[in-house]
Amino acid sequence: MSERDTPRIIPVLDQRGYGLALPPVMPPLQANGHVQDTRGRPLRDLRISVTDRCNFRCNYCMPKDIFDKDYAYLPHASLLSFEEITRLARQFVALGVQKIRLTGGEPLLRKNLEKLIEQLAVLRTLQGQPLDITLTTNGSLLARKAQSLRDAGLQRVTVSLDGLDDAVFRSMNDVDFPVADVLEGIDVARQVGLGANGGLKVNMVVKRGTNEQQILPMARHFKGTGTVLRFIEYMDVGATNGWRMDEVLPSAELVQRINAEWPLLALEPCAPGETAQRWGYADAAGQHDGAAGEIGVISSVTRAFCGDCNRARLSTEGKLYLCLFAAQGYDLKPLLRGEASDADIASVLGRIWQGRSDRYSELRSSLAPDTGSARRRVEMSYIGG
Ligand code: SAM
Ligand code: SF4
Ligand code: SF4
């Protein structure tokens, strides 16, 4: 049976319409601007989805049989404007956010995205530093847009690429998009300076039985280029991809496979809350060979990293999600389009974060499979990766 023929669970609920009650406007508990959740985790990383649309139909994210021509994408009027996004971002920054990732859907489909980047680039962290602004893209429009994104103030970019073999890549994006065009986008991103200081990363979602044969060719291709390749375990996000544990290739196994070809050694994390574990290529003396570089593995399924998860997610229409696996978000749009002041908004955001207890990955194995929680989760194309 081919992958496309695999029977799927069709979602019966559209979670986008639901919203959690906002907390009352009160000053956040900490006076210094930094907020912590109920597990002591600070708020550092904000992921902003700028569109729920995409020109790919990756079968692990937006399977064609669900995201077809009849799928109800968000109407334009319900999307946050760039001014609204920037206003919210400013309040998040006041609560400790240092890094913003633009995502989607496919973020480069959002018209004039450069304008948003320009607006975000002038914000400063609580320490007075520029924000770390990055973007995750499928790379299809990158060759065309890399220069203008860079000019607008984007410093880094992550490109999703699930294989080098054209047939495998076309079948995974499911719209017959050629791999050569994404590789060209990566080259142009490097040429315009988005690769400086390790700023260019490539993410590969690994599905056992689908693209595992691409692991070594991908590692070989990016080894020694300064571009860090990160392997992501196929996750049970959303409710439409028919996820099965037997299609997950555990990172430990992946590291063994690469290590058998090119010896690896574990590297220290660059920053607290980092999702990827770093592995460096070793030289003949068993030391890290800086010129050969490193890979990363994001073990979202086999090794929970909720303990220091400092990420919040803002949907295209202004709902705040505290976990990638959340079923419901907090609708911030009424605040933005009502009478609330900036201080009111910051206060509400602080209160929401202070009430956060999410740690889905840590609990995954103990959750009963029949609780129906999978059916209620929002889609990744809606809140971004
Ligand atoms: N369209 C852009 C892209 O593909 O880079 C940005 C949005 S996409 C939802 C963000 C990231 O989520 C991509 O790297 C994608 O590969 C990853 N992703 C989507 N569904 C996934 C799943 N089920 N498991 C693991 N990663 C997934
Ligand atoms: Fe689109 Fe990215 Fe999802 Fe693929 S992973 S369908 S490119 S949003
Ligand atoms: Fe963070 Fe939720 Fe992922 Fe845990 S499962 S790391 S809380 S997003």
> Ligand 3 test: best mutation among 302, 310, 311, most atoms within 8 Å of CB?
311
More confident residue, 11 or 117: 117
Tens digits of residue pLDDT in 155-201 = 999 999 999 999 999 999 999 999 999 999 999 999 999 999 889 99
Per DSSP, the residues of 133-149 read EEEEE-STTHHHHHHHH
Any residues with Cβ below 6 Å from ligand 3, and which?
305-306, 309, 311, 323-325, 358-361
Tokens 């995205």, located at residue: 113
pLDDT band for 8, please (50, 70, 90 cuts). Answer: very low
> Ligand 1 test: best mutation among 160, 218, 316, most atoms within 8 Å of CB?
160
Task: Tell how far the Cα of 380 is from the centroid of ligand 2, in angstroms.
Answer: 8
The CATH number of whichever domain residue 183 belongs to comes to 3.20.20.70
CA torsion 169→175→181→183, rounded to 10°? -30
Q: Please determine, for residue 372, whether its predicted confidence score (pLDDT) is greater than 70.
A: no
- Identify the pLDDT of residue 375: 53
Task: Tell how far the Cα of 290 is from the centroid of ligand 2, in angstroms.
Answer: 32
Measure the CA–CA gap between 76 and 78, rounded to whole angstroms. 5
- Identify the pLDDT of residue 374: 54
Residue 33 lies in a domain: yes
- Decide: 210 and 248 in contact? Cβ < 8 Å: no
pLDDT band for 384, please (50, 70, 90 cuts). Answer: confident
pLDDT band for 20, please (50, 70, 90 cuts). Answer: confident
Domain count, the chain: 1
Tens digits of residue pLDDT in 260-309 = 999 999 999 988 778 899 999 999 999 999 999 999 999 999 988 899 99
Residue 355: both structure tokens together: 């009430």
Measure the CA–CA gap between 195 and 157, rounded to whole angstroms. 8
Any residues with Cβ below 6 Å from ligand 1, and which?
54, 60-61, 103-104, 106, 136-138, 160, 203, 205, 232, 234-235, 237, 241, 380-381, 384-385
More confident residue, 336 or 378: 336
Q: Provide mean pLDDT across the span 198-220.
A: 97
Residue 228: both structure tokens together: 């860090």
Helical H segments across the chain, by residue range: 82-94, 113-121, 142-152, 166-173, 179-191, 215-222, 251-261, 333-336, 342-354, 360-363, 373-376, 380-383
Residue 120 lies in a domain: yes
- Summary mean pLDDT of the chain: 91
Residue 5 lies in a domain: no
Residue 107 lies in a domain: yes
- Identify the pLDDT of residue 34: 80
Q: Is the pTM of this model over 0.85?
A: yes
Task: Tell how far the Cα of 343 is from the centroid of ligand 1, in angstroms.
Answer: 34
Residue 55 lies in a domain: yes
Any residues with Cβ below 6 Å from ligand 2, and which?
54, 56-58, 61-62, 104-106, 138, 160, 381
3-state DSSP assignment of residue 232 = strand
Residue 72 lies in a domain: yes
Q: Which domain holds residue 116?
A: 15-383
More confident residue, 148 or 18: 148
Tens digits of residue pLDDT in 122-150 = 999 999 999 999 999 999 999 999 999 99
Residue 6 lies in a domain: no
Measure the CA–CA gap between 59 and 241, rounded to whole angstroms. 7
Tens digits of residue pLDDT in 308-317 = 999 999 999 9
Residue 4 lies in a domain: no
Helix (H) or strand (E) holding 266: strand 264-267
